[in-house]
Amino acid sequence: MENVTERIVDALRCPVCGAPMRYDATCGAGQLLCLGTRTHNFDLAKSGYVHLAPRHSGGGDSREAVRARTAFLSEGYYRVAVDALCELIKTYAPEGLVVDAGCGEGYYTNRVAAMGQHAVCGFDLSRDAVDSAAKAARREGNGARYGVASVFELPLADGSADAVLNIFAPCSEAEYARVLKSGGVLILLGAGERHLLGLKRALYDEIYENAERADLPEGLDLVEQRTVRDVIEVTGAEQIGHLFSMTPYYWRTSPEDKRKLERLETLKTEIEFDCRVYRKA
């Protein structure tokens, strides 16, 4: 595990001045110290995550959103997605440093770390999300490390990552290309055309398939695309509410349509994930 921490610290760069960093375990929960001419210090939180975003940055998902997603994902409804992700990593980046950009509470990140073949770190703007991710990693003893940082400004050296994961989070192609090694891969996982069609059927009179996302990479080489699908039955109004709150429809649906979900005890829906692997030349 020490080796894993060393590999991650080697790749980290100070978010203030860009200098390499070292880990100091002697103080509190531990500290990251930058090796620049003016030393910048970053204390680890009790759970083990570290804040590496500029002070003024905020945002990312709220505590309530993190709790709802954790409650839903931990039931295994998206098992096919995490299984596909692990398979793609085994194929395209069997070892090395894996960075999960926009990792949320680490559902996918911790599964990758549990494979035991990689040094794994996750970054997200939400402090509540990375705190929850770090706690889960510690409970599981999988060695994953977490930080607060924007996907548009990752605190990592150029060419340091073997794989970047981007799962239902904003895609920042230029930044991912910067941190990837030559030959490294970006694995993108997002909603397929028929993802959550059953949820839409329950909410709306007129339903439509999802359009292709607008932020797909343009400069990296697409080496594999696959669609993974399943049908799930979500049980209980609370769990259906958790799923609904994870979706963009939560913010766009009228109060009358939202009330339709309150009457449901089970929801059967297609889930469909679009997985793409891009390689940096």
Ligand X SMILES: C[S@@+](CC[C@H](N)C(=O)[O-])C[C@H]1O[C@@H](n2cnc3c(N)ncnc32)[C@H](O)[C@@H]1O
Residue whose CB is less far from ligand X, 248 or 255: 248
Q: φ, ψ for residue 72 (rounded to 5)?
A: -75, -55
Sign for the pseudo-dihedral over CA of 269, 248, 87, 277 = positive
Q: φ, ψ for residue 35 (rounded to 5)?
A: -100, 20
Q: Which stretch binds ligand X (CB under 6 A): 44-52, 121-129, 234-242, 272-280?
A: 121-129
Among 12, 121, 125, 161, binds ligand X (CB under 6 A): 125
Q: Does 50 contact ligand X by CB under 6 A?
A: no
What 3 state SS string does 255-273 have? HHHHHHHHCCCEEEEEEEE
CB of 99 to ligand X, least distance (A): 12
Q: Does 15 contact ligand X by CB under 6 A?
A: no
Bridge-based pairing of strands 161-167 and 96-101 is parallel
Binding map of ligand X across residues 144-183, x = CB under 6 A, - = no contact: ------xxx--------------xxxx-------------
Binding map of ligand X across residues 223-262, x = CB under 6 A, - = no contact: ----------------------------------------
CB of 27 to ligand X, least distance (A): 27
Q: Which amino acid is at 73?
A: L
Q: Which residues of 159-178 are buried (b: 16+ CB within 10 A; e: fewer)?
A: ebbbbbbbbbbebbbebbbb
Instruction: Tell how far CA 173 is from the center of its chain.
Output: 15
Q: Which stretch binds ligand X (CB under 6 A): 31-39, 99-107, 223-231, 265-273?
A: 99-107
Among 15, 48, 102, 241, binds ligand X (CB under 6 A): 102
Q: Does 190 contact ligand X by CB under 6 A?
A: no
Q: Does 124 contact ligand X by CB under 6 A?
A: yes
Residue whose CB is less far from ligand X, 61 or 274: 61
Residue whose CB is less far from ligand X, 124 or 274: 124
CB of 3 to ligand X, least distance (A): 26
Element (H, E) at 242: helix 237-245
CB of 205 to ligand X, least distance (A): 27
- The whole-angstrom separation of Cα 225 and Cα 187 is 10
Q: φ, ψ for residue 130 (rounded to 5)?
A: -70, -30
CB of 221 to ligand X, least distance (A): 23
Nearest to 197 by CA among 186, 209, 187, 189: 209
Residue matched to tokens 């839409």: 200
Q: Does 68 contact ligand X by CB under 6 A?
A: no
CB of 150 to ligand X, least distance (A): 4
Helix 107-114 vs helix 63-73: crossing angle, to nearest 10: 50
Q: Is 47 helix (H, G, I), strand (E, B) or coil?
A: coil
Binding site for ligand X (CB under 6 A): 60-61, 69, 102-104, 107-108, 124-126, 129, 150-152, 167-170
